[in-house]
Amino acid sequence: MGLAVAALLSGCATFTNACTDIGWTNRVDVQFTGPAAAIAIIETMEACGEETCWKAPRPAATPTSPPGAIEAYEFPATAVTDTRWALAIGMDTPESITITARTADGTVLGTTESDVDWTRVGGTAQCGGPHEGGPVELDVAL
């Protein structure tokens, strides 16, 4: 019986490499180029990968919606500089991404499609972890 218990428990040693993180957020940097006046009126940014799209408001802005409207911003953008935003995109690392910048009324100021080089910045090769991609350059115009 002792050998049977020892044999059963020896399999438990494989759990020492268990992954502890159950999720993380990847980010892609977007570098805006073009007139400062156009960059100043960007209110939302959309990013679409192969299967998913993400929408973010202007960093540090509080999005406003008409009464009764529901506007969800799952993954916010943060300002790296006045002309560069970092967009959180969940756990996806799409090979290619389409970025669109819009004004408050939905007017498109610029759109681009770009391949993204991703670098893991945390976690492990075995368990995965957060990645950063970009910068993706987006030229905007009035």
**Does residue 47 sit within a domain?**
yes
Alpha-carbon gap, residue 89 to 81, rounded angstroms: 19
The domain that holds 44 is classified in CATH as: 2.60.40
**Does residue 37 sit within a domain?**
yes
**Does residue 8 sit within a domain?**
no
**Does residue 1 sit within a domain?**
no
**Does residue 29 sit within a domain?**
yes
pLDDT by 10s per residue, the chain, length 142: 555 545 444 555 455 667 876 788 899 999 999 999 999 999 999 999 988 888 888 886 554 545 554 455 567 788 999 999 999 988 889 999 999 999 999 999 999 999 999 999 999 888 889 999 999 999 999 9
Q: Report, in angstroms and rounded to the nearest whole number, the Rg of the chain calculated over CA atoms.
A: 21
DSSP state of 14: G
**Does residue 4 sit within a domain?**
no
CB atoms closer than 10 angstroms to residue 114: 17
Backbone angles phi, psi at 16, to 5 degrees: -70, -20
**Does residue 61 sit within a domain?**
yes
Going by their DSSP bridges, the two strands 53-57 and 44-48 should be labelled as: antiparallel
How many folded domains does the chain comprise?
A: 1
Question: What is the extent of the structural domain holding 65?
Answer: 23-139
Alpha-carbon gap, residue 29 to 86, rounded angstroms: 4
